[in-house]
Amino acid sequence: MTTKAIVSASDPEPQFVKRERIYVGVDVGYRQHVAAASPLSVFNAKRNPNGWRQVKTVRFASDAAGFAHLQRYLDKHSSDVTDFLVLLEPTGGYYALALLLYLLGKSYPVVQVENRAVKDYREKVFGSETKADEMDARLMARMGFLHELAGEEFSIRPVHLTNPDAAALKVMVGDLSVLQKEITRRRNQLQQITAATFPELKTFFRDSTASPSARALLAKFPTPQDLAAASADEIGDVLRTTRSYRHAKRAAELRELAQGSAGVRMLTQQHWRQGWIIRQLDVLDEARQELIEQVERISAAHRYTLIIESLPVKSPIWTATLIAVIGDVSRFHNYAEFRAYLGWSPQVERSGSSLDSSKLAKSGVRLSRKVLGQMVMIMLTPVIRATPFRVHYERLTARGMRPAKGNRARRREALGRAEQDAQGDDALR
C-alpha cells in the first residue's frame, strides 16, 4: 500500500520519493504514554517475520513537552499526516483526552481499539496475559495493519471530535453508577450496626434503617438509651425536620421500643463509626442529587431524549445513560451492530454439531445492559398499564416460550424501535 509523491529539490528535475503507510500504536498512561510507529515494511513476513516486534518505541510525558517529543518521533518517519493511522485504547476518564485533541488538531487519522480486543490479541500472539506498555503499543500498530490491509475485525472505530457536553455526560453517568454503589455500601453498613444495637428500629422504619429520616434520628440519638431518655416531642421534632410526618406521629411508639430494646450496648468505637457512616451518607446523597440535576440538564436538550422517553417506561437517569452510551447513532452500520453494542444480542449455544439453545451474549456495554433489563422488568409488572411490549410478551409465553427468552425479545423490540426513530430523526436533520 505505497504511494508516490513529487517533492521539490535543488535539481530542476523532479524526484520521486516512495512513501508508505505508518501504523502508530499508543498505550495510554497517567503520567506517560508509549508509542510504536510501524511502517508497512516491518510487516513483511518473508523478509523479517518479527520485524514489527522490534520496532523502536518512544515513551513520552502526557504534557506539552511530551507531545513535542512524540511529534519529533513521528516526523522522523514522515511529515505528512495522511501517511499515518494512529490506534489507541478508549482509556477511561480523561487520561487520553489531551493526546486525542492534540492528534486530531494536527489532522492525524485516529481510531480506537477496544481494550478487550487488545487483551485477546495479546494472548493469541504471546500466549500470555502479561501486559507491557511497549508490547501493547506494537500490538495495536499490527492490529491497524491487519484491519486495514487484511480486513481483520478488531472492534476498531474512528475517533471524531464530539460535543463537549456529550463527552462529559458519558463520564458523569459512570460517576453516578460508582456513587450509587458507594451509597448502597454505606447504607448496608449502617443497617448492620443498627441490627445489633437497636434491632427494634427496623420494625419502626420498615423501608430502611438507613433512610434520611432514620439517619437524622440516629445522629441526634445514637443509642436506644438516648432515645429512651428523650421525650416524644423531641423525637417527633427530629422526624419532622426530614418531613417524615407519618413517623413523627408515632414518636411515642418509637420511644417505647427504645426503652425495651434488646440491642447490644454500643462501644465507643461503634458509636464513632456509626456517626462517621451517617456523615458520609449525607455527603454522598447530596453529591448524587447534584450530579443527577446536572445530568438531567445536559440530556434535556439532547435530540435523542424525546425518542428514548417515548418508550412506555422512562427515567431521567435511564435516558441520560442511553444517550451517553449510544453517542452518535449514525456510527452504527445496521440494527444488529447497534444491538450488539448495547449488549442485547442473542448468542447460540451448540453442543457438537447439534443446536442446543440461545442465550443473551455477555458482550456489550454494561450500563446499557442494566438499563434495558430494568426497563423490561418494569414494563412487565402488572401495576404498569398494558403496553404493546407486554402484550407481545404474554403472547410469547402463552405459546410456551420461557419467560427469560420473552424478556430478551421485548428488549430487542425496544432497541429496534429506538434505533429506527433515531435514524429517522437523523435523516430529517
**pLDDT tier at 121, thresholds 50, 70, 90:** confident
Predicted confidence at residue 407, as pLDDT, reads: 55
Q: What gap in Å lies between CA 324 and CA 298, rounded to an integer?
A: 10
Query: What distances in angstroms separate CA 380 from CA 51, 193, 319, one per listed residue?
Result: 58, 36, 19
**pLDDT tier at 381, thresholds 50, 70, 90:** confident
Cβ neighbours of 204 (radius 10 Å): 18
Predicted confidence at residue 10, as pLDDT, reads: 40
pLDDT per residue as tens digits for the range 43-93: 887 888 788 888 999 999 999 999 999 999 999 999 999 999 999 887 655
**Which is higher by pLDDT, 356 or 122?**
122
CB of 322 closer than 8 Å to CB of 308: yes
**Which is higher by pLDDT, 427 or 188?**
188
In the chain, what percentage of residues exceed pLDDT 90?
41
Using the predicted structure, report yes or no on whether residue 16 has a pLDDT greater than 50: no
Using the predicted structure, report yes or no on whether residue 292 has a pLDDT greater than 80: yes
Predicted confidence at residue 403, as pLDDT, reads: 67
Predicted confidence at residue 58, as pLDDT, reads: 95
Using the predicted structure, report yes or no on whether residue 193 has a pLDDT greater than 70: yes
**Which is higher by pLDDT, 348 or 373?**
373
pLDDT per residue as tens digits for the range 23-34: 999 999 889 999
136-150, 281-295, 338-352: lowest mean pLDDT where?
338-352
Predicted confidence at residue 6, as pLDDT, reads: 32
**Which is higher by pLDDT, 327 or 109?**
109
Closest CA to 254 of 233, 225, 275, 232: 232
Using the predicted structure, report yes or no on whether residue 308 has a pLDDT greater than 70: yes
Mean pLDDT of 264-283: 92
Predicted confidence at residue 92, as pLDDT, reads: 53
Q: What is the mean pLDDT of the chain?
A: 82
Using the predicted structure, report yes or no on whether residue 152 has a pLDDT greater than 90: no
Highest average pLDDT, of 20-29, 129-138, 275-284, comes from 275-284
pLDDT per residue as tens digits for the range 390-407: 787 788 778 877 766 545
Closest CA to 204 of 165, 260, 250: 250
Using the predicted structure, report yes or no on whether residue 9 has a pLDDT greater than 50: no
Predicted confidence at residue 426, as pLDDT, reads: 46
Mean pLDDT of 319-323: 91
52-61, 165-174, 341-350: lowest mean pLDDT where?
341-350
Mean pLDDT of 318-328: 87
Using the predicted structure, report yes or no on whether residue 286 has a pLDDT greater than 90: yes
Predicted confidence at residue 413, as pLDDT, reads: 54
pLDDT per residue as tens digits for the range 210-224: 999 999 999 999 999
Predicted confidence at residue 160, as pLDDT, reads: 57
Predicted confidence at residue 17, as pLDDT, reads: 44
Using the predicted structure, report yes or no on whether residue 171 has a pLDDT greater than 80: yes
Predicted confidence at residue 349, as pLDDT, reads: 59
Predicted confidence at residue 347, as pLDDT, reads: 66
Using the predicted structure, report yes or no on whether residue 353 has a pLDDT greater than 60: no
Predicted confidence at residue 156, as pLDDT, reads: 66
